[in-house]
Amino acid sequence: MMPVSLDLPVRAGEASQLADLIFQFAEGRKVDAALRRMLESRATQTPWESMKVLWGSLCADPNANSTYYVAVDGRTPALLHIALSSAPASGLFPGPVLIGRMRTPRGLEVVVNAIPFTASNAEHVLTFATQVDRSLLPGPQGVETLYIAANADPDTAFAQFRAIQRKYGLSVAAYSGPAYEALYGAIRHGWREGFALSGEDELRSRTTIDATAMSDEALDDRIDAARRAYGRAFDIDVRFDAPGSFTKPAVLGERLARLRENGRPVQVAFVEIGLDAARPYPERWEQMAGWPEDIVSNVQWKAAGKTLQELRQRVEDLQVAARQHGAVIGVRGYGSLTEPVLEAIGSGANRRLWFELGDGLSSDRILELAGPLR
């Protein structure tokens, strides 16, 4: 028996109106982006007080006719299961809360259930993505794009990814962390364009290998193990240098060449370029005390004292070394970064970059970062 809660996440009357709208326009049609946009536009004519409907999440049950799912923000975030009363019950989500068995304004008899759906409901999120709408799953993305990889607050992150897509026409979505977190954000914002997921889950599309203390043989073994487990399409990223060091283009090229020649190409090579969580990147030559002599010399003599011009050229040289072997560079950024420094990095990388949010950079700054990085 379904539990009936006296403290429902949404009002039964508004759930009935929502069901009526969905069945009026979605029944018998393919649920695609155009239909979702049309329903969202129609819904503005009937504003609901108890819930905000996240139309990007709307999908039809692939195994049951006349059955739909949509995420809403009500008293608590929920996934609504909306079906004609004649449709078979679903066992995908145990213990749903019954909102009501009711007639819609057009006279349809429907059943609406609410399923708890927050970033911590890992089982529900994974069930939805793997058994209801697999178009939301991550996948290999290649090396022809800019990634901005969030590692927390997935709902905000994917809202920012959507805003970047609308403003700049770019798909920069990437996440480092548990799959259920990333998928939660992707579901709520209807992100079906694919995204890069780095982590330890089975659903990940890539992994990052920390090779800072590894021998060549150990790195080869790690890459081979990942390829055996996940296939050739799985993306491999490698971190060669420890924080505080400086990656040399020639050395990076030699490392990547060895891997590629041995049949172990990687997609992202993380580089160290002098970014520091504790202090801003020096924007004047006089601020470079303690920096490596070769970099200071290049700033003074090749870049006419302009530190950001030298940074842009160094990033470009690293990118050229990586691109020669089928990879792009990756950096971890921090809250200490200024817009001119971001512009220098983005210009040098030429819009092909894995940019990971480090200390001091929260998910709500992704759109702000995309402007200078692109």
Mean pLDDT of each 10-residue bin along the chain, 374 residues long: 63 95 94 96 90 97 94 96 87 91 92 95 96 92 84 97 95 95 97 92 92 96 93 91 95 97 95 94 91 92 94 97 96 96 96 95 97 94
The pLDDT assigned to 142 comes to 66
State the helix-helix crossing angle for 339-349 and 307-323, rounded to 10 degrees: 30
Structure tokens at 316: 């470009």
The pLDDT assigned to 199 comes to 86
* 81 three-class SS: strand
CA 355 to chain CA centroid, nearest Å = 12
The pLDDT assigned to 1 comes to 39
Helix spans in the chain (H): 12-26, 33-43, 122-127, 154-168, 179-188, 216-230, 249-261, 293-297, 307-323, 339-349, 366-373
Q: What is the pTM of this model?
A: 0.92
